[in-house]
Chains A and B, each alone.
Chain A
Amino acid sequence: MTLPPDLAANPRLSTWLRVAADGVVTVRVGKVELGQGIVTALAQIAADELDVEFADVRMEPAGTAAGPDEGFTAGSLSVSTSGAALRQACAEVRALFAAAAADELGVEPADVAVHEGTFAAAGRELTYGALAARVDLDREATGDVEPKAADRLLLVGTDVARLDLPDKVTGRPRFVHDLRLPGQLFGRVVRPPSPAATLLDVDTGAVEARTGVRAVVRDGSFLGVVADDEPAADEAAEALRGNAQWKTEQSLPDEADLPAFLRGGPTDDTVVEESGTPEPGRVARTLKARYGKQFLAHGSMAPSCGVARWDDDAVTVWTHSQGVHPLRRAIASVLGMGVDAVTVRHVEGAGCYGHNGADDAAFDAVLLARAVPGRPVLLRWSRADELSWSPFGSAMSMDVEAGVDASGDVVTWSYELWSHGYTSRPGYAGNPGLLAARHLERPVEPAPPVDPALPSGGSHRNAVPGYAFPHLSVHAHRVLHTPLRTSAMRSLGAYGNVFAIESFLDELAEAAGRDPLEYRLAQLTDPRGRAVLESAADLAGWSTRGDEENVGHGIGYARYKSLSAYCAVIAEVETVSEIRVRRLAVAVDVGRVVNPDGVHNQIEGGAVQATSWTLKESVRFDRERVTSTDWASYPILRFSEVPAVDVRVVSRPDEPSLGSGEAVQGPAAAAIGNAVADALGVRVRDLPITPERVVAAIERSS
């Protein structure tokens, strides 16, 4: 059989696994813990495939010095890609050990029984540990061994407690922010006051003379300081800020009219889909609408952080990046160094929902640490920098138009979207992807963000509705002028596209006087899609929903990336003095489930975050600078605003595993939008659905 791609790219078994004489199996994967529980799920896969006790598996953090290169941990792909590679590697390792055991015991490999880390035959037993010295894993995977069938897996499919949580509930050092290396110093960067500002002049002398200050670093418009401890670094940074003169520029678009900005500039255009045949004769009626979304911030609870240490001409970096290898190559390329001179190790950060400031902070640390050779420098961003300098999820503007027949079913559908690209990760499409690179004396200018290829897509992710419409025309325009930095954020364009498509579907159902669930099922042929819709409807009690005043119900559905997890959401909202999402009923089909509680946790968290995006969030800016720089100007959902989230996982043990981390974002937004429209009788087509927008919609309709 052919090897899973990540194993084919990293074929040496010893890259993935090591077995020690005490029976402990050390596993290295290229995927990283982002708070999503992936490392625990991969440990389950390894223990199951090897037939060892879960407690005997040790997961090593990813790094460039050892272990496989699996690119980025992104796109909800880790269980399917890394899981498949690890499963195959473990199956082969198990077979090698079984063969060694058979040899030792003088029996045929087929006669060896493997159970809980022991190989038994002819009344004798050998352990992994006892055989470790006899089995050389420094060899390539062959693809000749079949992994176990689904029904023979014991751990996969069960709730295994997360490996990282005991440290986190007791406050033990676990995050990169907690690293304390010998001789460590602390750094701060003084960012320009606005995206297009450049540094004219700064008096560094007074700051350099302060006690506790080790170095002031200036390189072009990059300005930073290294000090003995965090308070000294903070004070020095403030002093530097006070001494710096910047040239500013009114480079930002009008926040109040983003559609005009997005549609006004040069674009790179893609035909996402043209299929079927238009039958104008069947069109009884044509409807159209325009939808939109604002820029969104990641808003991780921890500001980005990185540690770096230079030793002669080599640098070691500790980072919460999503991709240690791409970061390594990006650092080497911006600094004109050989890749071998850069070592990158992963250390956990706070929750990561896409391309945030992690790589940038790592590079900041590298630039600062260069001034203090041999000393590690821990660089942490401020909350304001985190909210204004991390890449944003792009604003979008979408036009949708449908011709429907006499019963209201879609005959022809056209959809057009305008958005920045959704990826500017380090190294992606030639982009250095490191913020400070653009501020250096010899700057590396960023290229406009790009989009991952279709069918999964970027800004055009989920731009194609999953329904059986007889004629489809879908076009995407990638906006090239990017005064605000954008990149990957959880679900990329799917959040905006599914919101638009599923909102419009409700508009069509309403125009036809049909029930939104029935309307969708009538045009959806994919059985797995139908199953999640029906399951969510059942969970939410759709058919018996009441007609309470100021309460509305709405549906949202999509198959994530058009090829991954299926998800349907039914929202119940209350619109008395504010908009409150009372409950989200979510049904998902993620194929074979590795850790059911992990899937529940991801879906619940995704649904809550999507509720926050949908009701509250919008990056604020004037023509010069980003103004949403703290939790008052960029509010997110609070405990008292969090909906109940009920999750039902439609079990498909024989289907390949599909990622769960991003599937709910779009359907949740659409369900909430549709529920608000149901409650109020007017529709808000622009995200976020704020009280101001509701009032405006009511005024427009009256």
Chain B
Amino acid sequence: MVALTVNGTRHEPTSPDDTPLLSVLRGPLGLSGPRFGCGLGMCGACLVLVDGRPMTSCDTPLWSVDGTAVTTVEGLATDGAPHPLQQAFLDEQAAQCGYCTSGILIRAAALLDENPNPDEDAVVAALDENLCRCGVQRRVVRAVLRAAAGGQR
């Protein structure tokens, strides 16, 4: 039986071991933040943090995350206060349809954990595997830089 922590709560999902993590999160665990975009590990819409590392949950089998701590976009906020990135995305209105947004937030959160003061090139490089069809990439980069600068810009 696989056991994992999701956004701070321990779960022992009964899904078969090879079920994609995304299906577990969106199914029995009732989350909606991780999105299904391609199911092929190619777009980043389904990203979650697994022990702090961004992983595409659509092609990650449940068994492989046994004993880990998973964070979804729902878990980025602390004590009800939005994560600085979430606030910065609102301040910059860095979305159109917003379908790509949770995956981008997750990747950006991992980046800021590792490098709290990235320059523009570092942000762009970190997000290069995340696709956005609406074309809000420039706003996203501005928002991440804004969050890194403590909400200022």
Contacts and interface: CB of A to CB of B under 8 A. Distances in A.
Given A177-B36, A231-B19, A639 B93 contact: no
B65 interface: no
A222 B21 CA distance: 30
Nearest to B88: A169
A353 B133 CA distance: 9
A280 B80 CA distance: 75
A631 B129 CA distance: 11
A546 to B, nearest CB: 22
B32 A173 contact: yes
B57 interface: no
A242 interface: no
Interface stretch (A55-63, A300-308, A467-475): A300-308
A168 B42 contact: no
B97 A351 contact: yes
Nearest to A610: B135
B137 A608 contact: yes
Interface string B11-24: 00001100110010
A37 B101 CA distance: 15
A165 B138 contact: no
Contact of A230 (B23, B82, B135): B23
B86 A169 contact: yes
Contacts of B39: 382-383
B132 A171 contact: no
Nearest to A229: B27
Contact of A383 (B30, B32, B40, B132): B40
A631 B42 CA distance: 6
A597 B94 CA distance: 11
B123 to A, nearest CB: 8
A170 B33 CA distance: 7
B45 interface: yes
Contacts of B140: 639
Interface of B: 15-16, 19-20, 23, 26-27, 30-40, 42-43, 45, 72-74, 77, 82, 86, 89-90, 93, 95-102, 105, 124-125, 127-141
Given A165-B93, A301-B132, A609-B135, 19 more contacts: A159-B93, A161-B90, A169-B90, A170-B33, A170-B77, A171-B74, A171-B102, A174-B98, A231-B15, A300-B97, A301-B35, A301-B134, A302-B36, A601-B93, A601-B96, A605-B134, A608-B135, A608-B138, A630-B40
28 contacts: A168-B97, A168-B99, A169-B86, A169-B90, A169-B105, A170-B33, A170-B82, A171-B32, A171-B72, A172-B32, A175-B35, A231-B20, A231-B23, A231-B27, A299-B133, A300-B97, A301-B45, A301-B100, A301-B132, A301-B133, A302-B37, A302-B99, A601-B96, A605-B134, A608-B137, A609-B134, A630-B38, A631-B131
